[in-house]
């Protein structure tokens, strides 16, 4: 087993640690009591991020799941329906929170790599379904799509979905946990993404490297209501300017460097494809996530990840035949080169002729 100091941790971009400079910004942050709206650092972060996406207001939350749940609660009443892609975070990785806390029912459509098709979503949507059938009142889009392999959603499909759904009275939510990556990959402005959605969630603690924090963004009215629900859910916080300062630092310094994460992910994808072409198409790797499909291998995804861990490479098994690698700011080129070599050796062994 490799020592922790020599570990290459590609389980997620959530494993990043705040840099010394970010820690200094945290230590120096002016603070107040946020439940009383007295914290100047969090107030300025909320105003900054709302303006970035062309919205009126935002509320800071400790987690992306909470930001998502506050957003969809503002759009969907109990007993009404939210629709989203089958492998989206809201459907798969938030532990049924929409049903547990908000009485929201959910249906999903399946898309290859999570890639958005407006027609797929609209085919599933059933707004205004009368007194006997559940009615769709909102559609959630995840950009980039985590379990799809960091897929960037086409702005043309987002625009088409907005036009079609608004004509039928439905709202739209953007799960933008990694919208920073989509922006860097495409050059599309945050405000351009924001204009198509009624609510937006963004995360600071993944590729941007902050230790904690997300924001829910919308109108002043919705954000005011969301603050009440944030407190009701037990997430009213006090001197959180310490955390908001990390967010400010991340926005100031860490967006452009996401391009390096994307380049390193592509390097890994190319290396894996050279060893086992069926596992990954490198042309689909647009951001910082590499998903390897191990169908046909002589071992499970869990065993593959365990073997990688023995060699000092930590990755995630997310299904019986699927593993995920995520590049981030705490991994450098030499580590990526070593990770690529480890993966090639493991893939060669996994797919050796029986």
Over 60: is that where the pLDDT of 20 sits? yes
Strand (E) positions, the chain? 8-9, 57-61, 81-85, 105-109, 136-142, 171-176, 199-203, 214-218, 289-293, 313-314, 316-319, 322-326
Q: What pLDDT sits at residue 353?
A: 57
- Checking if the pLDDT of 4 tops 60, the result is no
Instruction: Report, as an integer, the average pLDDT of 169-182.
Output: 98
Question: How many whole angstroms separate alpha carbon 153 and alpha carbon 144?
Answer: 7
Measure the CA–CA gap between 45 and 214, rounded to whole angstroms. Answer: 11
State the pLDDT confidence band at 6, using cuts at 50, 70 and 90.
Answer: confident
Residue 101 has pLDDT above 80, yes or no: yes
Q: What are phi and psi of 150, to 5 degrees?
A: 75, 30
% residues pLDDT > 70 (the chain): 98
Structural domains of the chain in order of their starting residue, each with its CATH number: 4-15+257-350 (3.90.1150.10), 31-253 (3.40.640.10)
H/E run at residue 310? helix 301-310
Contacting residues for 306 by C-beta, under 8 A, at least 6 apart: none
Q: Are residues 351 and 273 in contact, defined by beta-carbon separation less than 8 angstroms?
A: no
Task: Determine the Cα–Cα distance for residues 89 and 97; give it in Å rounded to an integer.
Answer: 11
The answer to whether residue 225 scores a pLDDT higher than 70 is: yes
pLDDT class of 19 with cuts at 50, 70, 90: very high
Read off the pLDDT of residues 37-86 as tens digits, 9 standing for 90 and up.
Answer: 999 999 999 999 999 999 999 999 999 999 999 999 999 999 999 999 99
Q: How far apart (Å, rounded) are the C-alpha atoms in residues 321 and 287?
A: 22
Q: Which residues pair with 317 in a beta bridge?
A: 323
Q: What angle do CA 72, 75, 80 make, to 5 degrees?
A: 90
Phi, psi of 332 (to 5 degrees): -105, 180
Lowest mean pLDDT among 2-6, 49-53, 206-210, 340-344: 2-6
Distance CA 315, CA 183 (A): 25
Contact 8, 314 (CB under 8 A): yes
pLDDT at residue number 271: 98
Measure the CA–CA gap between 300 and 323, rounded to whole angstroms. 10
Q: What is the mean pLDDT of residues 183-210?
A: 98
pLDDT, residue 352, reads 78
CB 297 within 8 A of CB 304: yes
Position 2 pLDDT exceeds 70: no
Residue 5 reports pLDDT greater than 70:
no
DSSP, residue by residue, 42-110: HHHHHHHHHHHTT-SEEEEES-HHHHHHHHHHHH--TT-EEEEETT-HHHHSSTTHHHHHH--EEEEE-
pLDDT, mean over the chain: 96
Distance of CA 175 to CAs 63, 201, 297, Å? Answer: 12, 5, 33
- Report helix, strand or coil for 291: strand
Q: Is the pLDDT of residue 350 over 80?
A: yes
pLDDT in tens, 318-339: 999 999 999 999 999 999 999 9
The two beta strands, 81-85 and 214-218, are unpaired
Q: How many CA atoms lie within 13 A of 40 on its CB side?
A: 4
- pLDDT tens for each residue of 269-309: 999 999 999 999 999 999 999 999 999 999 999 999 999 99
For tokens 């007295």, name the residue. 38
What pLDDT, on the 0 to 100 scale, is given for residue 88? 97
């Amino acid at each position: 087993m490799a020592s922790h100091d020599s570990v290459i941790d590609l389980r997620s971009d959530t494993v990043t640690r705040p840099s010394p400079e970010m820690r200094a910004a945290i230590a120096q942050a002016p603070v107040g009591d946020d439940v009383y709206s007295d914290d100047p650092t969090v107030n300025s972060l909320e105003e900054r991020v709302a303006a970035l996406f062309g919205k009126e207001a935002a509320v800071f939350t400790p987690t992306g799941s909470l930001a998502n749940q506050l957003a969809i609660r503002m759009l969907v009443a109990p007993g009404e329906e939210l629709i989203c892609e089958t492998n989206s975070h809201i459907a798969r990785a938030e532990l049924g929170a929409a049903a547990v806390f908000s009485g929201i029912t959910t249906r999903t459509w399946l898309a290859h790599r999570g890639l958005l098709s407006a027609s797929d979503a609209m085919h599933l949507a059933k707004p205004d379904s009368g007194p006997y059938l559940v009615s769709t009142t909102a559609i959630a889009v995840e950009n980039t799509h985590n379990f799809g392999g960091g897929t960037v959603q086409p702005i043309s499909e987002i625009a088409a979905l907005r036009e079609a759904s608004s004509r039928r009275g439905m709202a739209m939510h953007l799960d933008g946990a990694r919208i920073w990556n989509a922006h860097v990959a495409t050059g599309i402005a945050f405000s351009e993404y924001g204009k198509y959605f009624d609510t937006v969630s963004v995360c600071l603690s993944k590729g941007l490297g902050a230790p904690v924090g997300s924001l829910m963004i919308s109108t002043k009215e919705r954000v005011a209501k969301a603050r009440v629900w944030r407190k009701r859910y037990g997430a009213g916080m006090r001197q959180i300017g310490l955390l908001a300062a990390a967010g400010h630092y991340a926005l100031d310094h860490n967006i452009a460097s996401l391009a390096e994460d994307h380049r390193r992910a592509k390097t890994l994808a190319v290396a894996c494809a050279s060893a086992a072409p069926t596992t990954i198409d490198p042309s689909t790797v647009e951001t910082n996530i590499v998903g390897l499909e191990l169908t046909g291998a002589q071992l499970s995804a869990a065993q593959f990840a365990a073997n990688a861990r023995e060699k000092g490479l930590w990755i995630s098994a997310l299904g019986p035949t699927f593993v995920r690698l995520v590049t981030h700011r705490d991994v450098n080129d030499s580590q990526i080169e070593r990770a690529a070599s480890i993966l090639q050796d493991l893939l060669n062994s996994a797919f050796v002729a029986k």
